[in-house]
């Protein structure tokens, strides 16, 4: 009797493990699709950064608001999109440059951030 019980127990455990594995794979595929959908789509950030470039070209310090807004959105997406870290660093640098009155450097950093996000947005 002990042998029969052991065999039944092994079959039940194996079936449960296989069932859970299939469930986990199905869920992970769904999560990957959701994560993939979240990776693309930097349109809002790009719009804010393009607005900032226009303001920076006019040496308008109000560009900082657009840069801060874009940086906040980028930071929220960084854990799911590690490739945007460079863009986030560039936006931080642009904000610092605006504070120092170095508008050309701020423009250069902002344009690099735009390039990074545009490349990832494809």
Same-domain pairing of 62 and 34 = no
Q: How many domains in the chain? A: 2
Q: Phi and psi for 59 in degrees, rounded to 5?
A: 50, 40
Same-domain pairing of 26 and 12 = yes
Taking the complete model, does pTM exceed 0.75, yes or no?
no
Same-domain pairing of 52 and 82 = yes
Q: What sign has the CA pseudo-torsion 27, 32, 38, 41?
A: negative
Same-domain pairing of 68 and 100 = yes
Neighbours of 65 (CB within 10 A): 13
Q: What is the phi-psi region of residue 101: left when phi exceeds 0, alpha when psi lies from -120 to 50, beta otherwise?
A: left
Same-domain pairing of 6 and 49 = no
Q: Is pLDDT larger for residue 40 or for residue 51?
A: 51
Tokens of 10: 């092994």
Q: Is pLDDT larger for residue 68 or for residue 33?
A: 68
Same-domain pairing of 56 and 110 = yes
Q: Is the pLDDT of residue 10 over 60?
A: no
Q: What is the pLDDT of residue 3?
A: 60
Same-domain pairing of 58 and 105 = yes
Same-domain pairing of 46 and 91 = yes
pLDDT in tens, 71-81: 999 999 999 99
Once rounded to an integer, what is the mean pLDDT over residues 6-14? 53
Same-domain pairing of 33 and 67 = no
> CB-hemisphere CA count at 13 Å for 54?
7
Q: Is pLDDT larger for residue 60 or for residue 36?
A: 60
Same-domain pairing of 22 and 74 = no
- Domain with 51, as residue range(s), is 41-121
- Among 90, 108, 121, smallest CA distance to 53 is for 108
Q: What is the pLDDT of residue 35?
A: 40
């Amino acid at each position: 009797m002990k042998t029969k019980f052991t065999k039944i127990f092994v079959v039940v455990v194996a079936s449960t493990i296989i069932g859970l594995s299939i469930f986990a794979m199905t869920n992970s595929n769904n999560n990957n699709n959701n994560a993939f959908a979240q990776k693309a789509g930097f349109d809002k950030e790009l719009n804010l950064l393009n607005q900032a470039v226009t303001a920076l070209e006019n040496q308008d310090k109000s560009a900082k608001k657009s840069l801060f807004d874009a940086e906040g959105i980028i930071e929220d997406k960084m854990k799911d999109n590690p490739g945007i870290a460079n863009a986030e660093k560039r936006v931080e640098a642009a904000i610092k440059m605006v504070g120092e009155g170095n508008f050309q450097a701020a423009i250069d950093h902002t344009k690099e951030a735009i390039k990074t996000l545009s490349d990832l947005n494809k």
